[in-house]
Structure 1
């Protein structure tokens, strides 16, 4: 029996209740959570922007300690510290064969299979994005846990499971930022703050952060922004002024909003790269003219989970954390228990703060 935040139906309020977890079966691992990050994707799952069978236990960004393993599991053992991987690659599908594990067709398979039951009536529960980390413990596939390298605090390591790998990968894999380039980052939430840090690590010269909230300036500058702009109708023009009149070499959109994507595109220099990281709804339509696509010669790309291979990228990011180049704690602006997740959702909707960490009893 464990406590968990359950989404009973799409659009409903979360219920903090008790659930029953089975022992891990063949190829499965049980993890006691130390912390979970509250990501905008959790909000998107709750309101139906992203599809998820319900009732479900939300949460996909987490870290904890292995308590038990099922038959055939040799990668981890009880007592190991791990980070949850919400998009584990199968290594067998078409995309894995192309060395693009972030597009794996099997990655989300766990989300559609019940994994636990509600204690009060025995009804089945689904694990959001296959991980269900808004609970004191969870049971996942063995390939959904990644060993945490030494020297990284376990609670803050939760951020590695989504925000950090996404932001780091957006810079290093999708946009491929080079030393001396200028970068504009749209949205300074959890993913945006990770993106700013990654741009600084990549050696970007001018780093412009754009957000709708003035309170994000201090967070953004601490993460590496050399300039901060409040989003307005003049944002693209101002970005061009700050980058020699040409526009940013790279613009990375982290909000998932059509207007922000369009502004990021317009802020990019001729021949530059625009990368879309934010997850928007189907109603978020972005328009481009055929002439501008030709004239500006920019590239526009989507980015899934930072186009990362977590098994390779997590140790690389952990090395930056240990060396003091990447600050996980600086991304955290609130710590709460399960009861505070609804307030964290409200803060995200209002554009307040960076990442909220749900801390579980030790």
Structure 2
């Protein structure tokens, strides 16, 4: 089968690999219909945060995808089942014609899904990243007694994750959501979804947050880009006893500066989120599939260009420079 290979930093190739086989109970093989590029893929391939086993894995680093079961030793996922692929994010496997999954790393799509309808399948593919966002939001904004005031939420980055966070923040009752990004096209989507948009660096995010919160700061700040500088800025603009959610992955394995004095002075809670794919029962991913099926969320702005597997490297570089006006990219094996 054809699948990507990342032998070293900065290199992603398409090569022939042995097709996977289901050899254990609970395993099944999926023919990948579509895969999607995630911001963490950029860090892994282009910035050097490769998993040590990444070079040995077919389809690495892709981990967002949908497909159809073609071989199964699972009672939950018989042959012909359309599925959302939820492999462990650090290992991936969706940039391939076929991939091996098990009962703990997939969600069956609704019965009315037509796996031959690429547009429909691409919509459901968004449930992978949306699921990671819902999982993260439960960490960032848990139910507390007494209940926290959901006043202002700031989301740094209007990529697909940032826009999913925006929709969920409004659903959770935040009175205002401020979204910052460099790309005007993405900010227009944020505004249509109900956010106050800030185009950085032309506008100063800290000044806007101060003005819109009466100098109090934001109750919740989510860094959804993967920037050490923005993670530090998030501490500066969060309110006293506010929460900072780190979602965008680290740029490198090196230590990064954190404004410790400000963190202590304002009694800030710092909360990272990773490994949503290990959530028992994949509850957040099931919920994301349900919201898409029931039309409770908007995802069509993510249905950007479709590229063949051989263009994966080019697509990663387009995404790294801001997407050229697109929020999301699809890879078709």
Aligned-residue offset at 1:285? 0.9
The CA distance in 2 between the partners of 1:212 and 1:176, in whole Å, is: 30
Correspondence for 1:4: 3
Q: Which one of 203, 210, 226 corresponds to residue 196 of structure 2?
A: 226
- Structure 1, residues 115-153: CA drift from partner, whole Å, max 9, x if none? xxxxxxxxxxxxxx4441101111223322221234563
Correspondence for 2:117: none
Aligned-residue offset at 1:351? 1.7
Correspondence for 2:66: 63
Correspondence for 2:51: 51
1:185-200 counterparts in 2 under 5 A? Answer: 185-200=155-170
Correspondence for 1:19: 17
How much is the aligned-residue C-alpha RMSD, in angstroms? 2.4
The CA distance in 1 between the partners of 2:285 and 2:235, in whole Å, is: 29
- Structure 1, residues 160-195: CA drift from partner, whole Å, max 9, x if none? 22x211222222332348784211001122221221
Q: Count residues in correspondence.
A: 314
Aligned-residue offset at 1:277? 0.6
The CA distance in 2 between the partners of 1:164 and 1:200, in whole Å, is: 15
Distance 1:258 1:131, change over 3 A: closer
1:1-362 counterparts in 2 under 5 A? Answer: 2-7=1-6, 9-27=7-25, 28-47=27-46, 48-53=48-53, 54-56=55-57, 57-58=59-60, 59-70=62-73, 73-87=74-88, 129-150=90-111, 153-161=120-128, 163-176=129-142, 180-231=150-201, 234-280=204-250, 281-283=252-254, 285-290=256-261, 292-305=262-275, 309=280, 311-352=282-323, 353-360=326-333
Give unmatched runs, 5+ long, in structure 2: 114-119
Distance 1:45 1:180, change over 3 A: closer
The CA distance in 2 between the partners of 1:315 and 1:267, in whole Å, is: 33
Distance 1:212 1:224, change over 3 A: same
SS of the residue corresponding to residue 44 of structure 1 reads helix
Aligned-residue offset at 1:32? 0.7
Equivalent pair of 1:172/1:202 in contact (CA under 8 Å): no
TM-score, normalising length: structure 1: 0.79
Equivalent pair of 2:34/2:330 in contact (CA under 8 Å): yes
The CA distance in 1 between the partners of 2:131 and 2:194, in whole Å, is: 17
Equivalent pair of 1:332/1:356 in contact (CA under 8 Å): yes
Equivalent pair of 2:131/2:287 in contact (CA under 8 Å): no
The CA distance in 2 between the partners of 1:324 and 1:204, in whole Å, is: 21
SS of the residue corresponding to residue 11 of structure 2 reads coil
